[in-house]
Structure 1
Amino acid sequence: MPTPLWKQMLIPASFRGMPFHVEIGAKASGRRNVVHEYPKRDDPYTEDMGRRARKFQISAYVIGSFYVLEREALVSALETEGQGTLIHPTMGPVQVICDGYTVAESREEGGMARFEIQFVEAGTTPFSPAATNTQSATSSAANSAGTAAASSADAALKSQSGPADGHIF
């Protein structure tokens, strides 16, 4: 019997380059809604506030004679600050942040560590970093304008010729 197409399309799972096997993978999302209910009105107004952050729940494991090293490498990757690339077996690469994990080992399953990992999509920051220091740029522009105005005023005063006796009035 040939291998089903969906099995052929699976890609190896990893986070920050640390490989693991996936037992169960789940994704959750939806819409963020706010329901407004008003006194003396029977009909509410529901406001759509956009898509919820996608969350990924993965039941994973590392197994084999080097599982202890693989376990520690995966733990280190999960505890590293900031976003990283999750290679999901069916969804491909996703930028995520580890929201939490548990790791368990049992006597019956020697040579294996099981993980329950929660990821949340990293998304993008709504704030773009300032390209220039605007306070410094404004101060510099004001100083330049002041210097230019003073130079212009000096030049205007020097170009005026007063009466021969030196009195202006």
Structure 2
Amino acid sequence: MLDFKKYQRGRFNNIKFYCLNSSIKWGQKTITHTYPKSSRTEVEFLGLNKKLFSIELMIDNEFYFSNRKDILKQLNKGSYGTLIHPIDGEIKVAVINSYNVVENDTELGICKISVEFQEVSDKKAPDKKVSLFSRIVNGINQALETSNDIINDNYVVDFVNNLTKAQQQILSITEEVQYQANKIFSDQGILGDIKSLTDSFDNDPLGVVSTAGGLTDYLSNLLNLFSRGGESKDNATAFISMFDLGDNIDTNELTLENTENKKNTEAINTYSQFQYLLYVYNNGLSINFFTIDEVENFINSLEIQYNKLYDSLTIELQDQIDNLKSDLYEYLRGLELYDTIEVKTQKQSLESFVYQYYGNLDFYDKIKDLNNLNNPAFCNPTMKIFQIWT
């Protein structure tokens, strides 16, 4: 039986333990420099590392289960903690890597844990920053969900003609999606899924348009399927071509029925147009833009749709789309993009020419294609080259 009294005591976040073994890894951060064809060696000192403690600790067998639970809870906390080391005293640390728990059947009531504590600065651990890309994706998903309120808050079906008008409008959107899908998709699986969904509308259109939930379910599923069927650039182009779909709203004689029809038409139009815009945002993240003009033309298309829709959105959706737009434009304009200029040059190999301007041959194929040259290629008297937009 272990005699706990002979072991030194420590604490982690005020949980007591006994220290069986402890080692410390410490010293200078260094970089060793060596040189080709020379025995010369130099060491660069970069400052003192923080201490790394490797400790095999043991908990008291009195109140074993509660003590075990408490120490494991602190080790799993995922934040900085305070280690009271039996020799080095109080240290701000983080638990790193996986720890190992050993419980032996022959030593009931004894739990041995091998754990590494990394000494840290007194400052709080930095918050995890979601990347700009992830923030945009999360924002798109949130806005897609919130946009259902456009239909839920405005769609009414008090008259039979309300259903008829809504059915006609959904049919128009369905036919356009089918047309675009058949034009640009090669994935038969997605095409089959779209056909199955649109067949369900053809077979029971009233089941789709009789409730706000049925309508949003159908449209959101249809547009989501369409957004995943082709190349991102083709999908974005197709959605942009649909920005004008449904803009003409009839203004018939002012009756309650016609007023509700107009309200429904505007709600469906705003909902679908807003979803088109969000899916273009999403596709834009995956398009391989190459030049500044490509990005700016893309952004201009989005701005037109944004300005057209903005006043018809709720304050919540306005806030979401403003944040999304800002993040997306920052992301797109932060890509490594190129502009073209013309330069005069002497007759030389394209390989030499590219190396002269860029210091490597990474742009060889791009410059060759930009100037319509064959391989092996020699330069024209006037050559187009790319400038990096920084």
Distance 1:35 1:65 in 2: 51
Q: Does 1:14 align with 2:11?
A: yes
Q: Secondary structure at the match of 2:37?
A: coil
Aligned to 1:42: 39
Q: Tell me by how many angstroms 1:105 deviates.
A: 0.5
Distance 1:116 1:98 in 2: 11
Distance 1:43 1:62 in 2: 52
| Structure 1 residue identity aligned to 2:117 | F
Q: Secondary structure at the match of 1:19?
A: strand
Q: Tell me by how many angstroms 1:11 deviates.
A: 7.0
The counterpart of 1:71, out of the listed 68, 71, 75, is 68
Structure 1 contact 35–44 (Cα < 8 Å) conserved: yes
| Structure 1 residue identity aligned to 2:47 | G
Aligned to 1:166: none
Q: Tell me by how many angstroms 1:124 deviates.
A: 4.8
Q: Tell me by how many angstroms 1:61 deviates.
A: 0.6
Aligned to 1:89: 86
| Structure 1 residue identity aligned to 2:102 | A
Aligned to 2:101: 103
| Structure 2 residue identity aligned to 1:115 | I
What is the percentage of aligned positions where both structures have the same residue?
26
1:118-168 superposed Cα distances (whole Å, 9 cap, x missing partner) = 10001256xx9xxxxxxxxxxxxxxxxxxxxxxxxxxxxxxxxxxxxxxxx
Which of the pair is proportionally richer in strand? Answer: 1
Q: Tell me by how many angstroms 1:73 deviates.
A: 0.4
Distance 1:29 1:121 in 2: 10
Distance 2:8 2:82 in 1: 14
- In the superposition, relative to structure 1, how do residues 11 and 112 fare at CA in structure 2: closer, same or farther (>3 Å)? closer
Aligned to 2:56: 59
Structure 1 contact 11–88 (Cα < 8 Å) conserved: no
Distance 1:97 1:29 in 2: 16
Structure 2 contact 81–92 (Cα < 8 Å) conserved: yes
Aligned to 1:159: none
The counterpart of 1:26, out of the listed 18, 23, 26, is 23
Q: Secondary structure at the match of 2:69?
A: helix
| Structure 2 residue identity aligned to 1:104 | V
Q: Does 1:114 align with 2:112?
A: yes
| Structure 2 residue identity aligned to 1:86 | L
Q: Secondary structure at the match of 1:107?
A: coil
Q: Tell me by how many angstroms 1:16 deviates.
A: 0.6
Structure 2 contact 8–18 (Cα < 8 Å) conserved: no
Q: Which has the bigger relative contact order, CA under 8 A and spacing at least 6?
A: 1
Structure 2 contact 30–43 (Cα < 8 Å) conserved: yes
Structure 1 contact 12–19 (Cα < 8 Å) conserved: yes
Q: Tell me by how many angstroms 1:62 deviates.
A: 1.0
Distance 2:120 2:29 in 1: 17
Q: Tell me by how many angstroms 1:63 deviates.
A: 2.7
Structure 2: gaps of 5 or more residues:
1-5, 127-390
Structure 1 contact 25–58 (Cα < 8 Å) conserved: yes
| Structure 1 residue identity aligned to 2:28 | R
Aligned to 1:152: none
Q: Secondary structure at the match of 2:105?
A: coil
| Structure 2 residue identity aligned to 1:23 | L
Distance 1:124 1:70 in 2: 28
Q: Secondary structure at the match of 1:123?
A: coil
Q: Tell me by how many angstroms 1:45 deviates.
A: 1.8
Distance 2:25 2:17 in 1: 21
Which of the pair is proportionally richer in helix? Answer: 2
Q: Tell me by how many angstroms 1:40 deviates.
A: 3.3
Structure 2 contact 34–41 (Cα < 8 Å) conserved: yes
Q: Secondary structure at the match of 1:111?
A: coil
